């Protein structure tokens, strides 16, 4: 469990996205509300077109939702489930 400071947001990756970004979890500086897609492309070099499932503080969100300082963002791949 990462300890976040004021002005930070925690980003957790799931499934094959861990392989893709080569990180399970990162903590980012967030000074103002920022769209999830901007966080992903600017800070993590993840392509803009990435089609993912987003949860902010465990609640359904999208890549156009805003991340605020203190938020935990979960990024999951789409999967087929058998």
Q: Does 76 sit near another protein (CB under 8 A)?
A: yes
The nearest distance, CB 63 to another protein, in angstroms, is: 8
Q: Does 69 sit near another protein (CB under 8 A)?
A: no
Nearest alpha-carbon partner for 77 in 10, 9, 12, 2: 12
Of 4, 20, 26, 44, which one interacts with another protein (CB under 8 A)?
20
Q: Which structure tokens are listed for 34?
A: 């920022």
CA distance 6 to 67: 13
CA distance 59 to 19: 24
The nearest distance, CB 77 to another protein, in angstroms, is: 7
Q: Which residue has the tokens 């094959």?
A: 16
Residues making contact with another protein (CB under 8 A): 14-16, 18-20, 51-55, 57-60, 62, 74, 76-82
């Amino acid at each position: 469990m990462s300890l976040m400071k004021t002005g930070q947001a925690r980003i957790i990756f799931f499934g094959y996205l861990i392989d893709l970004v080569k990180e399970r979890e990162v903590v980012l500086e967030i000074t103002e509300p920022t769209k999830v897609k901007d966080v992903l492309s600017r800070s993590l070099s993840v392509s803009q077109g990435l089609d993912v499932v987003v949860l902010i503080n465990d609640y359904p969100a999208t890549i156009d939702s805003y991340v605020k300082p203190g938020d935990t963002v979960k990024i999951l791949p789409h999967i087929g489930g058998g």
